[in-house]
Structure 1
Amino acid sequence: MTDEFTQGKRAANLLGIRLKADIPVTLQGLNDGRRLLQWEQQKPCPPQYPRPWAVLTKNPLST
């Protein structure tokens, strides 16, 4: 999860958003450390986003 979270933060930086809240969520019958992440737009999203599906799959933001 930490690696996924780090990649998400990099993508968020590109899109002009920041993490506002990290809320632990417990679902009945599941104890797997789920979290609800709340994001806030800080600056306008660059004009090249959103991108076509083919571009998304070949060049994800997290890499």
Structure 2
Amino acid sequence: MARNKNYKTDKYYFEVNNIAIYRDEESVAKKAFEEYNKVGKNANWLGQWNGKKFVKAS
């Protein structure tokens, strides 16, 4: 059975292999996201969690 995901507010998220990863700063999150893509992982950018939905998805 799938668990509900508890995202932290104002953190930047991306997913790798259906695992959500977050970073505090957008620049650090984007750099990590790009590194995962560079090594061939299927990463998906989610954006910043505001408590209800993801915003700043680019």
Structure 1 or 2, whichever has the larger Rg, is 1
The two structures have a TM-score, normalised by structure 2, of: 0.30
Scaled by the length of structure 1, the TM-score of the pair is: 0.28
Tell me which protein shows more helix as a share of its residues: 1
